[in-house]
Amino acid sequence: MPLVTSKEMFEKAYHGGYAIGAFNVNNMEIIQGITEAAADLKAPLILQVSKGARAYANRTYLKKLVEAAVIETGLPIVLHLDHGDSFETCRSCIEDGFTSVMIDASSKPFAENIAITRQVVEYAHDHGVVVEAELGTLAGIEDEVMVSAEASSYTRPEEVEEFVAKTGCDSLAIAIGTSHGAYKFKPGTKPQLRFDVLEEVSRRLPGFPIVLHGSSSVPQEFVEKINRYGGSMPGAIGVPEDQLRRAAALSVCKINIDSDLRLAMTATIRQYFAEHPADFDPRQYLKPARAAIKEMVAHKIVDVLGCDGKAF
Ligand code: G3H
Ligand code: 13P
Ligand code: ZN
């Protein structure tokens, strides 16, 4: 099966009350860990590449590695541009064979966000590619851009119908309290997503797929391991998994996870070096790191997203 778009995936997820995991990829071991878990569980999959990932690994390598995963697993896989910052970045990914792109003009004024998104949609749809757009601003770090908690803002439900009608986008990322990175909520406060905003957006856009960025749950077992083996991540707190599960049962069809992959990999490698200080063969420490990613992704698929067994 070649790379697919997310159109049919989202239709099934919306009506089935589950979500698809969109995992960020940066190298071979990450791609293998994610896709091995999805293959074992027959789960549909979105592999997403940020501008930074493309700069790190170069545009050809990641595309070819994802193609290898399609051949190895036979799964329906979407290759998606995460946080496209301009028409040019989106066009370049479409030329490279991505089947889905995000244009993130959420930091721009409403009318400008509509205009840029509309331009990307026209080009993408002419090439059989789907487009995710964003309304509302998440806190945290995306590529080089840091959005402070004060500058972030929840999506305004009264804007979503006009935005979707005028842009023609295929899915919409909204801000309901998630944020990028490992420090999502103030220590001592109760993490709580704004389900009232999600429900009002869904009521105004019946049948329309919603996307949640910044949805890592920052498992404390990884944070503790990092802290135990020489790291320092006090106060790292993620989105509670039961709230993600609730969102997946509603209109949320795509849930973005990157930080949890980084934590799983880094915690495992730190532990490996602490226990094997004389080792220097990258295969020895990347093998358990890949296995940790596989285990974590399997848990997300079964216990958070609910998309196991939904690939075919
Ligand atoms: O939302 C951002 C993703 O975690 C990608 O991060 O831009 O460092 O690759 P990155
Ligand atoms: P996390 O930092 O919560 O993993 O979010 C990733 C993301 O939204 C990628 O677009
Ligand atoms: Zn994001």
Each residue of 112-130: pLDDT tens digit? 999 999 999 999 999 999 9
User: Rounded CA gap, 234 and 183, in Å?
Assistant: 9
Kindly state the tokens that stand for 132: 């995710």
> Helices 59-73 & 28-41, crossing angle to 10 degrees?
20
How confident is the model over 271-300, as a mean pLDDT? 98
**How far does the centroid of ligand 3 lie from the alpha carbon of residue 275, in Å?**
34
Q: Whose CA is nearest to atom 8 of ligand 1?
A: 143
Q: Does the Cβ of 26 fall within 6 Å of ligand 2? A: no
Coil/strand/helix, residue 79:
strand
Q: How many CB atoms lie within 10 A of CB 105?
A: 23
The pLDDT of residue 1: 78
Q: Are 137 and 151 in contact (CB under 8 A)?
A: yes
Chain segment 23-58, per-residue pLDDT in tens: 999 999 999 999 999 999 999 999 999 999 999 999
User: Residue 282 pLDDT more than 90?
Assistant: yes
User: Rounded CA gap, 254 and 212, in Å?
Assistant: 6
Coil/strand/helix, residue 173:
strand
Q: CB under 8 Å to 40, separation ≥6 — which residues?
A: 298
> Which ligand minimizes its atom distance to the CA of 134?
3
> Which ligand minimizes its atom distance to the CA of 80?
2
Q: Enumerate the active-site residues.
A: 82
User: Rounded CA gap, 140 and 271, in Å?
Assistant: 27
Name the residue of 23, 54, 141 whose CB sits within 8 Å of the most ligand 1 atoms, as the mutation to test its pocket.
141
Strands 171-174 vs 145-147: parallel, antiparallel or unpaired: unpaired
Kindly indicate the confidence band of residue 147, based on its pLDDT and cuts at 50, 70 and 90: low
Beta strand ranges found along the chain (DSSP E):
20-24, 45-50, 77-84, 100-103, 130-135, 140-142, 145-147, 171-174, 210-212, 252-257
Q: Does the Cβ of 181 fall within 6 Å of ligand 2? A: yes
Q: Report how far Cα 70 is from the mean position of its chain's Cα atoms.
A: 19
Look-up: residue for tokens 């402070």?
148
Kindly indicate the confidence band of residue 149, based on its pLDDT and cuts at 50, 70 and 90: low
> Helices 28-41 & 282-299, crossing angle to 10 degrees?
40
pTM above 0.95, yes or no: yes
Name the residue of 176, 216, 297 whose CB sits within 8 Å of the most ligand 2 atoms, as the mutation to test its pocket.
216
**How far does the centroid of ligand 1 lie from the alpha carbon of residue 277, in Å?**
30
How confident is the model over 70-81, as a mean pLDDT? 98
How confident is the model over 196-221, as a mean pLDDT? 98
The pLDDT of residue 142: 56
